[in-house]
Every structure is written in C-alpha cells, then in structure tokens.
Amino acid sequence: MDIVNNKSVLVTGGRGFIGRAVTKLLRRSGCAVVSLDTVSRTSSAADQIETEVLCDIRDSVKVQRVFEGRRFDGIVHLAAILPTAAQRDPVQATEVNVEASLHLLEMARRFGVRRFVFGSSLSVYGTCPADQVVSETDRAAPEDVYGAAKLYVEQLGEAYRQSHDLEFVSLRIGRVVGRGAESASSAWRSQILELLGTTNAVEIALPYVGAERILVVHVDDVAKMLVALLRTACPMHSVYNAVCESVVVDDLKREVERLNSRISVKVGEAHALGNPRLLDSSRFRQEFGVETLPMFEWLRKEAER
C-alpha cells in the first residue's frame, strides 16, 4: 500500500498525543485523514484541512456510519484507555481497548480496508530481567489490564489476517515523550522538553530510581514509524518493536539539568516494572530504515528553540 494523494486514512484517537502527530504527518503526505475521537477539534487553521468525527469508538452504530460514508484505504488505530485509567476502571478499559477494537477490525473486513496499523505497547512483554534484550520472538507476558488488552488485539488482528486477508500490523511502543503529552500521571514526558526554555526555577519529578533504565521514544519518531507501516507495500511481519532508546534515569536527569540550570530533576523510588529495559528493534530498522533521533539530540534541539 503506497500512501499518496487521494488515499483516505482513518485515525482513531486522532486528537490524542500520538494521534495528532500521525494525522499531521499523513496530511503532509497528501492523505485525506479522518480523525475519530471523543475530543472536539481545536480552532487552529491547520485543523481545518482535516475531517474530524466526534465519536466514542464504543458506539458501534456511529462507527459503522463513518465507514458507510467514506471508503478508507487504511486505518491507524490508536484510541485506548491508558494504563492507569485501565487499572482503575477495567470494565471501561475492556469495552474500549478490546470490544471496540474487535468491532473496528470487523468494520475493516466488511468495508474492504486493506491495511490496519495498530498502536500496541511494550507492556505486552511484562517485567523482564534488567539485562534481557527483548525481541519480537520473546514470550509476551503482560502484567496489567492494558498490556493484556494490547496483546489480545494483536491476536485478534492475526486471526483476521489469516482468515480474511486483512493486512494487520502492530507496533509495540515504549514510553512516548514530546511536547503536549498532557499526561496527568506521567507529566515528565512532556516537561523534560517543554520546560527547557524556562527562565524560572522549576522541578521535574521522574518517578524512577536513578540507576533504572527506561525505554523512551519521541512522539514524532513514533508517528514516522506508524506511517511507514501504513505505506509499505507488504510488511514482512505482523508485529514490530518500535525503535526505542534505553536511557539511564540519572543520565537523563544530568542532561536536562545541564541544558538548563534552572531545572531540578528529582528522581523517585519506582522501578520500570511491566516493561523491558533493553530492546531489540532490528526487525523494524532493517526493514524500514526510518531515521530516528537519539533522545539527548531531541533535548538539545528543544533547548535551542
């Protein structure tokens, strides 16, 4: 599938952190993008060239009407209840992350969508030994509702691929950082970039112990990877680890504080449970060759803005 002018792509969760970056990149590629979300559009001029549908993906009737009103060449499925909220409300998380995803797969089958790209998570692997480099061939063992749902949707997608020739492909994503993350539970993911230009004394709280390793990736790089999966003629695999960087928390603290001495980064006592610390992303790198920036390069770029 080659994304060129006049191709139409549905992005669920299009107003979310990753969704905004994906829709922006797709529009630049000449795609007609339909964004599906429960959040209404902003009034910025850039949004006016994007079609947005205000819709909860649990509303199967309204979702079907979207497919009846327009033909889609591809889907990027990002809408989800995130980990903290999923643990707090497992019923809602199951309705959104599993049942609505299944209905979306069925709509893709019924209406002849060719490619279905799923935003999955490294949490499907669960907690791994600190020195284990995790590849797609390692056993998945999620430890929470969110990770289990991601793994199950991957298995549903594989069933649709085998039974209905739907080109389902999944990207397992790490901790995403960037401006505008708007995360109440992980504010540091945006603060380490947004506050680099501050002239006031500020503190950023990183929940992890200083010696811990975390797998991070910038939101713009995630968008590039998802679009690459959408536009490739024929992906060789149905599951890919995203290209993430393993960063030591103390090193991240020192770099942020070096770039702006007014920032103090306070480390916490948590460990990176539920996710790997080291990752093998060679499958994606070798097949797609998408260029990503190291995390400290992203920090330096933001500091120079």
What per-residue confidence (pLDDT) applies to 305? 83
* Pairing between β-strand 175-177 and β-strand 51-54 as defined by DSSP bridges: unpaired
Burial class (CB in 10 A: 0-12, 13-18, 19+), 277: buried
pLDDT tens per residue across span 43-67 = 444 444 458 999 999 999 999 999 9
CATH number corresponding to 8-174+218-241: 3.40.50.720
Residue 170 is encoded by which pair of tokens? 């999944």
Per-domain boundaries in the chain:
8-174+218-241, 176-215+245-273+293-303
Q: Specify the pTM.
A: 0.94
Please identify which of the residues 125, 146, 160, 240 carries the catalytic annotation.
146
Enter the CATH code of domain 176-215+245-273+293-303: 3.90.25
189-198 residue pLDDT tens: 999 999 999 9
Which residues, including other chains, have CB under 8 Å from residue 51's CB and lie 6 or more apart? 32, 33, 34, 35
Does residue 146 carry a catalytic annotation?
yes
